[in-house]
């Protein structure tokens, strides 16, 4: 238990708080949030994953920390995601969420998380060490065009049943191994991927905020998608398919639901490639996941195999120096082992002298996980620069990312 600056108690949530937390989340958020919260605390993560601020017996603020993993190349980083955040409107502006974010980040550190990622309200989470880092793919309307799967020339929006031999149905827990396998294949081409953890699949099947659907061909699951609640059309996300034919069949079956479709485009997946020409352009305003790196040295250290492999693939190899100006990180190079353990040093204003790069600390998440690479970031921010363009361009290229989160992109 700790005390917030205003003298209220911050503590781990308990089963007796369940109804009050649910009520608070629904009042300040969405109707399905109460069930989402219950699934988390009554599942494997348990009550320790949630904290509350109480005024006497009254729950006035809450936050939950989910466990995630983020794969970068073939390195898997443990990660945390803060979710289900709300403060009672009578208690806003007293630093309660600031205190809960402190709790969440302490817990995240204790659980060995090297990074935190989240979707959240604009700007707010930058106050707690997050920065926009990874593009969120946009939902794009399905064009009124003939379906390549049908060859009938019907408009895309026409009602059409699933193709013969195929059945679209809601997924059950028995489908989880097939769902996991489809998403593993869908995410394999991405440099950075965050899958749904094992237990999340059960929550997603039980919750009300979205519906997981599978397409069976001759009794075998060959494609899947997650749909949002019907709301002037149907949002299709997380689409995955075993092959191109299954992707087209999935789209035909989804059209058969009789709603106009908008599709979260995942360009490197089988459905993404099969459907790309059928989608209207996406919005051009920026939407990004937040990411937070509290101890960059641990993330850099964990990523040494990936960084070493990038340098070797480019036929390069020497010590790496990255200065975040207030401190710097050196990774010594040896021919046999590649990049060695990270050494942390003090302020370094002119990293170019050490053949190093300068990267403002708040740009590190985008550098490691984002689509710009160091050269893109250099063009955007005066406090990112790498004098040796060939070396640092090979070390920090633009990366592709695909993150599966509890909440759907929009």
Task: Return residues touching ligand COA (CB under 6 A).
Answer: 28-29, 61, 85-87, 92-98, 120-121, 123-124, 127
Q: Smallest gap, in angstroms, from Cβ of residue 29 to ligand COA?
A: 5
In the bound state with ligand COA, the residue whose beta carbon lies nearer, of 10 and 77, is: 10
Whole-number Å distance between alpha carbons of 14 and 41? 9
Who's near 68: CB < 8 A, 6+ residues apart? 78, 79, 80, 81, 113, 117, 194, 197
Q: Smallest gap, in angstroms, from Cβ of residue 254 to ligand COA?
A: 29
Residue where the block lists tokens 């946009």: 138
Whole-number Å distance between alpha carbons of 395 and 225? 35
In the bound state with ligand COA, the residue whose beta carbon lies nearer, of 127 and 389, is: 127
In the bound state with ligand COA, the residue whose beta carbon lies nearer, of 201 and 406, is: 406
Radius of gyration of the chain (CA): 23
In the bound state with ligand COA, the residue whose beta carbon lies nearer, of 98 and 295, is: 98
Whole-number Å distance between alpha carbons of 210 and 226? 7
Q: Smallest gap, in angstroms, from Cβ of residue 82 to ligand COA?
A: 8
In the bound state with ligand COA, the residue whose beta carbon lies nearer, of 55 and 92, is: 92
Is 241 within 8 Å of 271 (Cβ atoms)?
yes
Q: Smallest gap, in angstroms, from Cβ of residue 328 to ligand COA?
A: 28
Question: 402: exposed, middle or buried (C-beta count within 10 Å: 0-12, 13-18, 19+)?
Answer: buried
The helix (H) or strand (E) run that includes residue 153 is none
Whole-number Å distance between alpha carbons of 313 and 295? 27
In the bound state with ligand COA, the residue whose beta carbon lies nearer, of 32 and 317, is: 32
Q: Smallest gap, in angstroms, from Cβ of residue 306 to ligand COA?
A: 30
Whole-number Å distance between alpha carbons of 200 and 66? 10
Q: Smallest gap, in angstroms, from Cβ of residue 83 to ligand COA?
A: 8
């Amino acid at each position: 238990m700790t005390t917030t600056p205003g003298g209220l108690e911050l503590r781990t949530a308990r089963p007796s708080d369940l109804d009050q937390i649910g009520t608070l989340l629904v009042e300040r958020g969405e109707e399905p949030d109460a069930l989402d919260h219950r699934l988390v605390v009554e599942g494997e993560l348990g009550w320790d994953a949630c904290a509350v601020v109480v005024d006497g017996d009254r729950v006035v603020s809450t936050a939950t920390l989910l466990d995630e993993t983020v794969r970068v190349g073939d390195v898997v980083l443990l990660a945390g995601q803060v979710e289900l955040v709300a403060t009672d409107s009578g208690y806003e502006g007293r630093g309660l969420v600031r205190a809960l974010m402190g709790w969440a980040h302490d817990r995240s550190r204790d659980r060995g998380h090297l990074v935190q990622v989240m979707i959240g309200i604009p700007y707010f989470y930058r106050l707690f060490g997050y920065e926009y880092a990874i593009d969120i793919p946009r939902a794009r309307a399905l064009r009124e065009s003939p379906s390549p799967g049908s060859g009938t020339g019907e408009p895309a929006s026409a009602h059409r049943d699933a193709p013969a031999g195929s059945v679209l149905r809601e997924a059950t827990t028995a489908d989880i191994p097939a769902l996991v396998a489809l998403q593993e294949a869908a995410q394999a081409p991405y440099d950075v991927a965050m899958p749904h953890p094992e237990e999340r699949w059960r929550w997603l099947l039980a919750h009300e905020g979205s519906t997981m659907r599978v397409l069976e061909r001759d009794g075998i699951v060959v494609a899947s998608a997650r749909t949002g609640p019907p709301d002037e059309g149907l949002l299709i996300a997380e689409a995955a398919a075993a092959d191109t034919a299954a992707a087209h069949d999935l789209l035909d079956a989804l059209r058969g639901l009789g709603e106009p479709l908008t599709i979260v485009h995942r360009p490197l997946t089988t459905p993404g490639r099969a459907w790309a020409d059928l989608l209207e352009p996406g919005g051009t305003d920026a939407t990004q996941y937040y990411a937070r790196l509290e101890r960059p040295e641990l993330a850099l250290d964990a990523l040494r195999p990936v960084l070493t492999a990038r340098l070797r693939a480019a036929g390069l190899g020497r010590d790496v120096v990255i200065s975040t100006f207030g401190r710097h990180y050196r990774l010594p190079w040896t021919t046999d082992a590649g990049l060695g353990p990270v050494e942390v040093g003090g302020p370094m204003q002119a990293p170019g002298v050490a053949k190093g790069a300068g990267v403002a600390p708040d740009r590190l998440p985008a550098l490691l996980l984002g689509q710009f690479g160091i050269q893109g970031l250099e063009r955007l921010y005066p406090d990112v620069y790498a004098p040796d363009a060939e070396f640092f361009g090979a070390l920090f290229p633009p990366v592709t990312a695909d993150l599966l989160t509890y909440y759907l992109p929009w």
